[in-house]
Amino acid sequence: MANILDKIFADKKEELVGTQSSRPLSELKTRIKSRHKPKPVIPALRDGKGSRIIAEIKRRTPFKGELVENFDAEAIARDYADHGAAAISILTESIHFGGDLDYLDRISFEVSIPIIRKDFIFAEYQVYEARAFGADFFLLIATSLDKNQLCDLKALGAELGMPALIETHDEADLEKAFYAESDLIGINNRDLTSGKTDLNITRRLLKMVKATGDPTLVCESGIKGREEIEEFERAGVHSFLIGETLMRAESIPDKLCELLGHEKTA
């Protein structure tokens, strides 16, 4: 039986047929030529003092529905950039998450920190699309891609100046990331087939990652408080991708400051 992740990818593949027809690859390549070079990603996610949070802009989810009233992607991005986020994640999937590539495009001109396109990417066209609309790096979900797809899409991103954040959820996913020689690995604590989160996934997989070298490591999903960030930093995590906790906060700036260990805004 198909799960929600399979459904999202199936819908994305169907949608992409129309997208490629209305916006040919040649148009994307022309847009890329007019773009500034991608911002440095790895230094933003692991260098310097203090905690590093990839703050996510996500309108809704298939599991929780609408996350924020009076959604304003650009205003949220400015709050993130002004209050200490190391990078911004923008959900661009439209059917299930209410995202839009236009959010990515507009925000890319407004903030000086790196932006990741977070979507369900399986085709080279989507990698070109990410760069054409202003992404500095992009997400690849190991669970839904084979190891050769990961390598090919990661390599194309590198040609365009964008590293790929390879998202893993279990040991099999990590093996794919290692095969692709990824130096930027995410551990997603959320089971994308059910929506459930379990921070023990990061606790378990960290040992496997640390035994293989020193990739830049991102903990994704399920982080709600400062104590969890401090625990995982001590264990070797470099950065944290946080969406729902921020999007559902009464004050996004105050919640971001709390997670970073800073005083609240005035």
Residues classed as catalytic: 56, 58, 118, 167, 188, 220-221
d(CA 130, CA 136): 8
Question: What does the longest C-alpha to C-alpha distance in the chain come to?
Answer: 51
Q: Residue 138: which of 74, 67, 90 has the closest Cα?
A: 90
Q: What is the DSSP string of 170-217?
A: SHHHHHHHHHTT-SEEEEE-B-TTT--B-THHHHHHHHHHHTT---EE
Q: Token pair of 258, please?
A: 């709390």
Q: Token pair of 139, please?
A: 């997400």
Query: What kind and span of H or E run contains 252?
Result: helix 252-260
d(CA 29, CA 109): 18
Q: Which residues contact 186 (CB under 8 A, 6 or more apart)?
A: 139, 165, 166, 167, 168, 217, 218, 219, 220, 241
Strand, helix or coil for residue 124: helix
Strand, helix or coil for residue 136: coil
Rg of the chain (C-alpha set): 17
